[in-house]
Structure 1
Amino acid sequence: MDVLNRMLEGVVDRGFISGFLVSSSWHGSLTVSHLLFTNDTLIFCDLDLDQIFSLIALLLCIEVVFGLKVNLSKSEAVPVGSINNLSEMATILDCKVSSLPMKYLGLPLRAHYKSKVMWEGIVEKIEGVTNRLKKMFHDFLWDGIEDAKKFHLIKWDKVCTPLSCNGLGVRKLKTFNKTLLGKWLWHYHQEGDALWRNILDVKYGSVWGGWCSKEVRGAYGVRVCKLIWNGWDDFLGNYRLKVERGTQIKFWHNIWCGDIALKNDFPSLYRIASYQGSSVADNMYNTIDSIHWSMRFTKAVQD
């Protein structure tokens, strides 16, 4: 897959295939030309004859390099917007023609957010998995292998309490799901060059320090992103930052020295700070063998 990715990037870099513009704003711009999955590949290009022939040449090169036959009859051309000569292009590519909305890898593409036909199956699968997991937990604790129902001798909250707090340590699905969503906040900062993060950055922008995207806004199609972003405050209160250069850590607002933010530990000093949004680096300077602190305040500070 890495070789295929490099070949596609080379074709795009040389201008043979254009891809599509995800977003262009003061946050930046980003163009996506292809997406690689385990058993599938999406290639984006304009419906231009030169680009179509470039795509065919690329597929022929793939056959030579990998020794595999590219079966175009199993491929599909999906137009976005109004296309006049689509059938002619499909004939050249020798592939089928589909249209939006459609399902791809089990998920609807460009489906109206109120379309029951497109979303009903997805919702049923998710609800079905959730209900089956809950039933498995309950059956394991209360029913066993017998058909007769048994009394619940312990409250479910106690069952889901961690072992360290004298509970049974069974995961509460709602809390566990919130944790998994919160893990994306961690990945956001760790995977600075990831495509999914770059898409979020150009669409919504990034907060100071690059720790999280800015608030996700939209009427529909962004629910998962909103659920992840809404967990930022909880995430912010449960992690610690290790200072290196200090350029991405806010001196007063982030938790980096002790167990609480300095603005809460020293509120009187925070109120008279000259720049309350300063970074750690703004308030320190290094000499040959030591670090010195230099905070600025709006009035003289008394011991």
Structure 2
Amino acid sequence: MTRWIKACLESSFVSVLVNGSPTKEFIPHKGLRQGDPLAPFLFLNVVEGLAGVSRNVVELNLVESLAIENKKIKRNFLWGWGSEGRKIARVSWKKVCEPRDVEGLDIMDIRLFNSALLRKWIWRLHSRKGGLWKQILESKYGGWRSLKESRVYNKDSLWWRDLKGI
């Protein structure tokens, strides 16, 4: 796929209008420019690829596994095995996750952080007045009001399902 995209970019010729007159054609070497007709197509290809990867991650239940593994790595760093054996947990995980100004280590809980980001998107959908991104979500899913529906549709993306779950 990347070779195909690269071939499309390198095989095209570009001419620039200077004072209404076209210049000599040249081959672009720095990627797409704003307004390039290939840009939306390339964007859709990337989004489809990411959607496929995220679908596979969910099907394999890797999201939960990654969150657990992340937490395990952080805990092992603080309290794991060392050359002297297992370290003593002198402070709770809850305290470790607290901000530094209240004497915590400010280690982020990924589940809480994800929940906060999803809530931020819900707030944006509700409070923002316009924008192409909002029009697309409203046409595809029905906007923020449809988040109140408990029913999940096959057309709903994983991200939209997560928003409904909040």
Contact 2:97 / 2:108 at 8 angstroms: preserved in 1?
Answer: yes
Percent identity over the alignment is 24
Aligned to 1:37: 43
Contact 1:163 / 1:169 at 8 angstroms: preserved in 2?
Answer: yes
Matches of 1:214 and 1:139, distance apart in 2: 43
Matches of 1:205 and 1:120, distance apart in 2: 26
Q: Given the superposition, is the C-alpha separation of residues 41 and 150 from structure 1 closer, same or farther in structure 2, using an over 3 Å criterion?
A: closer
One-letter identity of the residue aligned with 1:159? V
TM-score after normalising by structure 1: 0.34
* Structure with higher helix content: 2
Deviation at 1:178, TM superposition (A): 0.8
Deviation at 1:162, TM superposition (A): 1.9
Aligned to 1:225: 160
One-letter identity of the residue aligned with 2:146? E
TM-score after normalising by structure 2: 0.55
Contact 2:96 / 2:106 at 8 angstroms: preserved in 1?
Answer: yes
Aligned to 1:87: none
- Give the 3-state SS of the residue equivalent to 1:3 in structure 2: coil
Stretches of structure 1 lacking an aligned partner (at least 5 in a row):
9-33, 43-103, 112-116, 207-212, 232-303
Matches of 1:230 and 1:118, distance apart in 2: 18
Matches of 1:120 and 1:199, distance apart in 2: 26
Deviation at 1:165, TM superposition (A): 2.8
Aligned to 2:59: 120
Q: Given the superposition, is the C-alpha separation of residues 147 and 119 from structure 1 closer, same or farther in structure 2, using an over 3 Å criterion?
A: farther
Report the RMSD for the aligned CA atoms in angstroms.
3.7
Q: Given the superposition, is the C-alpha separation of residues 146 and 130 from structure 1 closer, same or farther in structure 2, using an over 3 Å criterion?
A: farther
Matches of 2:114 and 2:57, distance apart in 1: 24
Task: State how many pairs are aligned.
Answer: 128
* Structure with higher strand content: 1
Matches of 2:104 and 2:120, distance apart in 1: 24
Superposed, 1:177-192 pairs within 5 Å as 177-188=114-125, 189-190=127-128, 192=130
Matches of 2:136 and 2:95, distance apart in 1: 42
Q: Given the superposition, is the C-alpha separation of residues 148 and 120 from structure 1 closer, same or farther in structure 2, using an over 3 Å criterion?
A: farther
Contact 1:108 / 1:119 at 8 angstroms: preserved in 2?
Answer: no
Aligned to 2:99: 162
Deviation at 1:119, TM superposition (A): 5.1
CA offset digits 1:190-234 (Å, max 9, x no partner):
583233x2232124545xxxxxx1133443443532432554xxx
Deviation at 1:177, TM superposition (A): 1.2
Q: Given the superposition, is the C-alpha separation of residues 154 and 4 from structure 1 closer, same or farther in structure 2, using an over 3 Å criterion?
A: same
Stretches of structure 2 lacking an aligned partner (at least 5 in a row):
1-31
CA offset digits 1:8-56 (Å, max 9, x no partner):
8xxxxxxxxxxxxxxxxxxxxxxxxx55429x479xxxxxxxxxxxxxx
Matches of 1:142 and 1:148, distance apart in 2: 10
Matches of 1:179 and 1:143, distance apart in 2: 29
Q: Given the superposition, is the C-alpha separation of residues 105 and 35 from structure 1 closer, same or farther in structure 2, using an over 3 Å criterion?
A: same
